[in-house]
Structure 1
Amino acid sequence: MGSRLNPYLSFRGEARQAMEFYREVFGGTLTISTFGDFGNPDPALADQVMHSQLETARGFTLMGSDTPPGMDLVVGNNITVSLSGDDADDLRGWWDRLSESGVVSVPLEKQMWGDEFGQCVDRFGIGWLVNISQPQS
């Protein structure tokens, strides 16, 4: 394997639920390793996610973990995950799932540049941008 770049999301005790949700949204294979799997003796951390990785048939890779107590986790607007392309049906379906129970700041609709675009924060506090490209004439 060569090099790759992908998002790595941090959570405070919700990594398993979030990554299972993203597997429901995008499909694919999810692997989860807990702190207990790696021998951490702290019972409070045993079931927390040390590392998880979602690999999809479309080539998407999303990683995530729980942030252990004592480590800083600042939830905010410093990362947004972008989904874009021209497969309108898939992109609209993903938008519907991600924005459900979340907060929509820009509805998915045609924008001044001609594409459909929407912006939301999902129920786990992760920001998403969805852009559906229009066919070039």
Structure 2
Amino acid sequence: MSVLLNPYLSFEANAREALEFYQGVFGGDLAISTFAEGGQSDDPVEGKKVMHGQLTTADGFTIMASDTPPGMPVAAPAGFSISLSGDDDAKLRGFWDGLADGGTPVLPLEVAPWGDAFGMIADRFGVTWMVNIAGSPAA
């Protein structure tokens, strides 16, 4: 295996909901293990939380996430964005539309000064996504 770089998202108690939402947007295979399954909690409520979740898609995306363990501070996502880019207009617009469900547009998806379609959106979980769709090459 070569070296990989993947986003790992932290949630207070809704990592499962977020991962299932992302699976609905991007497709792919989702694997989730709970704190109880990992032997990390005997508490029935805490034990159901996600210790580790991983979504792997046919497009080569891997998104990992977990719920924050008890006693650890939880911070809202800030200071980063996840970028989706390429030249498959229909696929990227589909991702944009999926992420927009319950989300808040930051910048509309429209033609940018560099000729590509570009937009930013904060999804319903507060994660910011950038989408860049390559424009037509100059003639």
Q: Pairwise CA RMSD of aligned residues? A: 1.0
Provide TM-score, normalisation by structure 1: 0.96
Secondary structure (helix, strand or coil) at the match of 2:47 reads coil
Give the whole-Å Cα distance in 2 for the aligned partners of 1:71 and 1:97: 31
Q: 1:110-137 CA distances to partner (integer Å, 9 max, x unpaired)?
A: 0111110110100011110000011323
Q: 1:67-106 CA distances to partner (integer Å, 9 max, x unpaired)?
A: 0221112114222111000000000000011012111010
Secondary structure (helix, strand or coil) at the match of 1:45 reads helix
In structure 1, the gaps of 5 or more residues are none
Secondary structure (helix, strand or coil) at the match of 2:63 reads strand
Secondary structure (helix, strand or coil) at the match of 2:16 reads helix
Match of 2:68 in 1: 67
Secondary structure (helix, strand or coil) at the match of 2:2 reads coil
Give the whole-Å Cα distance in 2 for the aligned partners of 1:120 and 1:46: 32
Moved more, 81-90 or 68-77: 68-77
In structure 2, the gaps of 5 or more residues are none
Q: Give percent identity, aligned residues only.
A: 53
Match of 1:49 in 2: 50
5 Å-filtered alignment, 1:1-137, equals 1-39=1-39, 40-137=41-138
State the one-letter code of the partner of 2:4. R
Runs of 4+ in 1 over 3 A off after TM superposition: none
State the one-letter code of the partner of 1:14. N
Compared CA separation, residues 22 and 134, structure 1 to 2 (3 A): same
Give the whole-Å Cα distance in 2 for the aligned partners of 1:45 and 1:56: 28
Moved more, 65-74 or 116-125: 65-74
Provide TM-score, normalisation by structure 2: 0.94
Give the whole-Å Cα distance in 1 for the aligned partners of 2:16 and 2:81: 20
